[in-house]
Amino acid sequence: MERPSLQRYAWLSIGAAIATIILKTTAFLLTGSVGLLSDAAESLVNLAGAIVALIMLTIAARPADESHAHGHSKAEYFSSGIEGVLILIAAVTIAYAAIQRLFDPQPLADVGIGIIVAIAASAINFFVARVLLKAGKKYDSITLEADAKHLMTDVWTSVGVIGGVAAVAITGWVRLDPIIALLVAANIVWTAIGLLRRSVAGLMDASLPVDEQAIVVKVLDGYKAQGVEYHALRTRQAAAQRFVSFHFLVPGSWTVQHGHAVLEEIENEICRALPGATVTAHLEPLEDPGSFEDKGPNHAHH
């Protein structure tokens, strides 16, 4: 399946981030709550992340060329990696503001109107996150998924912050506001670490997830009854692209035509089970002991 351009989703994300930054900053200015300030800071990160996502989706959408034979889809891992770093920076900034406020508590003003404005911002984020997550899963885009999860984190953060601001207004316990801001910061750090780990795994050519590897093995094992063997199975993933390679050992009495026909069948079956897969197989005779040697991924096949 050819992926349609995903840039429109990044533009949606950029628009939502700008709208929520304006709304949350307004809520902070009305109330003076560092909790709401932390919430606005998170939206600033969303904006940076959405801009990075747009750049990376534009690059990743480029077709393969002479110097990038496997396409440009790995650019998406840079996007989620940069986003992870940006979130960490936001978390540190929020924590700094919150700790200062802990030692110097301030009463909150205009809480009612501030909360209404913050709820409106969260509603925008919730709607956009749902749209992005659906598109991310449908088109297998780590960038859109990362952006959507990021926005959902923001929604839950906002729910906590709004609840906290309301509690401060009701109980008059002013220190609750910076405590909530610190919890927001901790939550953001957790999101960032997850994104960074996933990005590094992608850039380091991690294998396909275990369940997807099992699908490939199941397909290959299904052909063993025909007297064939396989080995040197390798997989890797680059965003929506999956790469599968293996050596396929057939009886020496088979014609090349027959061996090739069976391989075609296997490759088609793997591609049906794993959309977006590129399958590379190396046909070898079962009787030759050299066929069972695995010379490693850098070995050039003849």
Identify whether the C-beta of residue 122 lies closer than 8 Å to the C-beta of residue 158: yes
- What pLDDT digit, counting tens, does each position of 83-142 carry? 788 778 878 888 888 898 888 888 888 888 999 999 999 999 999 999 999 998 888 887
Cα 103 to chain centroid distance, Å, stands at 38
Quote the DSSP letter at residue 300. Answer: P
Band of pLDDT at residue 3, cut at 50, 70 and 90 = low
Cα–Cα distance measured from residue 201 to residue 84, given in angstroms and rounded to the nearest whole number:
14
Identify whether the C-beta of residue 4 lies closer than 8 Å to the C-beta of residue 67: no
pLDDT, position 302: 40
Q: In whole numbers, what is the pLDDT of the chain averaged over residues?
A: 82
Question: And the tokens for 27?
Answer: 């809520």
Domains and CATH numbers, the chain: 7-203 (1.20.1510.10), 210-292 (3.30.70.1350)
pLDDT at 72 over 70: no
Tell me what the mean pLDDT of segment 145-155 comes to: 83
* Intra-chain end-to-end CA distance of the chain, in Å: 31
Band of pLDDT at residue 211, cut at 50, 70 and 90 = confident
Strands 229-238 and 277-285: unpaired
pLDDT at 4 over 70: no
Band of pLDDT at residue 194, cut at 50, 70 and 90 = confident
Band of pLDDT at residue 68, cut at 50, 70 and 90 = low
